[in-house]
Amino acid sequence: MPPGVASVDRDGVLVAADQRAVIDVLVEGQWVWSFDAGRDARPEGTRRRVKWPASLRPFLRGTGQITVRERFGERVLFDGEYAFDDSEGRVSIVDAQGRPLIVDKAGDLQCGFSERGDATVNALLDAVEDVLGRLRDEGGVDAFLAFGALLGAVRDGTFIPHDSDADVAYLSRHTSPVDVARESYALERVMIRAGYWTWRFSSADFKVIVPDPEGGRAIDVFAGFVVDGTFYLMPEVHAPDFDTATILPLGEVVLHGRRITAPAKPEALLEITYGPHWRIPDPSFKFTTPRGVRRRLDGWTRGNNTARGHWWPFYFGRSSSTVAEAPSPFAQWVHEREDAESSIVDIGSGTGRDSLWFARQGRTVLGMDYIPAATERAGKTAAKENIPATFKTFNLYDVRQVLGMGAEFAHRDQPPVLYGRFLVHALEDFGRHNLWRVASMCLRRGGRFYLEFRTGLDAKAEKVFGEHFRKYLDPDVVVAEIEERGGQIEHREAGYGLAVYKNEDPHVCRLVATWKR
């Protein structure tokens, strides 16, 4: 392979072994993704490969003009047609409104500010000012613009064109991580009382969902705190021997013509955040947090940001629109087996197709899913139809949420019916074990747990909705885990024909479990 030349295939981009530059990838002339070849590429033969981001793969259908070039200097490494499969048509990486999408710093597909109108930008700025004001006046914290929003304001006076949300932070007066977490939850309640939707990254940072004319944006609220002289700014930043004069007393920066509250020394905080080259735009930037710092922050604050890689872009992209709206055969099967007054808790409710159908039959339903975009959409549908379904975000990888939700269910007047369709095979071991913990906590006084999952005996194991984690389990393993935690199996069946969808007929297992009183 000649020096400086790249190639593409269905799996990703291949670059020369000595390539270390930041690389831009364009599809049909549209910039969609950047990566750092020195950091992200992995050896493959005499070259090095960077795989296509998982969020981008569902869009790579048909034929497209692919350009691979160095970002700085724009030296073209590859430029040509490539057919990803035998589909007709051209590759199109756009949202439902036809706006170009880009892969952001988290690996998700987003529509950047450069493609959004003034109304959206102004609505987000209004919300930023409102959130900062509430954090200050009602929450009692020193809150300020941070991360990409601060970077764009200082560098150009605008949001970064390829960014898609806003970031604010605050300097906590607490020096104990427990107190920092308690404060963050109190601040979240301030936002909820103000009418915002929220979703937690960890016990020290959360997302505020802001409706806007084009579908909704987000403001991330990050805690900053000092422990033993080291400054930590969620989710990745740390600075030993920190001087609080970097932040306090608060100042201002100009963002799209508005004066927004900012740190006292914004340039100093940006250098702490992004390093000495923060003035140079680099869409491939990723934090390189030392392992010890990451482990410390994980232990102090984190838990519910696990396993979001597939499902976040799934619900913000086009894939979720391909899910059927009609109830699954499993939902109809469960409905026939349960008394009409039984309430349903749908864990992993996804698009809400089964939760909403249960509610339309007159059942009281709580749908829970990891991704706020899923619960928000389903909640809006329920409210519009005035049916008895509510939706919450819930993460089985966060022990705090698991214990809290299990306790809440255990204290209900009547135990619920738990429902988990296509949930078990989408969980890693830790999440699955927490699922049994929830069931054990809330079904000791009655109620049943209905489960349907893929066993992996289907040789094709088609991935209809794109690539994401699946762990196909032998039903004997699932039964053994349930029984080890005090459960007992009332019903078990497995086979084909139970979960047919279009041309897909996976081998699935159905279980009905109860727990000993």
* Nearest C-alpha neighbor of 334 from the set 110, 165, 498: 498
| Cα–Cα distance, 210 to 129 (Å, whole number) | 12
Report yes or no: 223 and 234 within 8 Å, Cβ to Cβ.
yes
What kind and span of H or E run contains 178?
A: helix 177-193
pTM: 0.68
| Cα–Cα distance, 168 to 45 (Å, whole number) | 44
So what's the pLDDT on residue 96?
82
So what's the pLDDT on residue 109?
86
- What residue type is assigned to position 425 of the chain? H
Q: What angle do CA 28, 34, 35 make, to 5 degrees?
A: 135
So what's the pLDDT on residue 225?
97
113-301: which CATH topology?
Beta Polymerase; domain 2 (3.30.460)
So what's the pLDDT on residue 212?
66
Report yes or no: 426 and 469 within 8 Å, Cβ to Cβ.
yes
So what's the pLDDT on residue 322?
47
* Nearest C-alpha neighbor of 184 from the set 128, 141, 150: 141
So what's the pLDDT on residue 362?
95
Give the HSE-up count for residue 50: Cα atoms under 13 Å, Cβ half-sphere: 27
What dihedral do alpha carbons 343, 349, 355, 356 form, nearest 10°?
Answer: 150
User: Can you give the C-alpha Rg of the chain in angstroms?
Assistant: 24
3 state DSSP class of 448:
coil
CATH superfamily of 311-515: Vaccinia Virus protein VP39 (3.40.50.150)
| Cα–Cα distance, 390 to 333 (Å, whole number) | 22
So what's the pLDDT on residue 211?
74
Query: What averages of pLDDT result for each successive group of 10 residues across the chain (517 residues)?
Result: 75 94 95 94 94 92 95 90 93 90 86 83 94 97 97 96 92 96 96 90 90 75 96 95 96 97 98 95 90 88 57 50 74 95 94 96 95 86 95 87 91 93 92 95 95 78 49 93 96 94 89 92
Report yes or no: 479 and 492 within 8 Å, Cβ to Cβ.
yes
Q: What are the start-end ranges of the E strands in 172-216? A: 197-202, 205-210
Residue that is written with structure tokens 């041309």 in the block? 503
Strand partners, 495: 508
Domain boundaries, the chain: 7-110, 113-301, 311-515
Strand partners, 514: 488
- Residue 40 tokens, joined: 């992200």
Q: Show Cβ contacts of residue 49 under 8 Å, excluding neighbours closer than 6 positions.
A: 11, 12, 13, 14, 15, 41, 42, 43
So what's the pLDDT on residue 152?
96
- Residue 139 tokens, joined: 């929450």
Burial of 234 (0-12, 13-18, 19+ CB in 10 A): buried
3 state DSSP class of 14:
strand
Residue that is written with structure tokens 């993460």 in the block? 395
Cα distance from N-terminal residue to C-terminal residue, the chain: 68
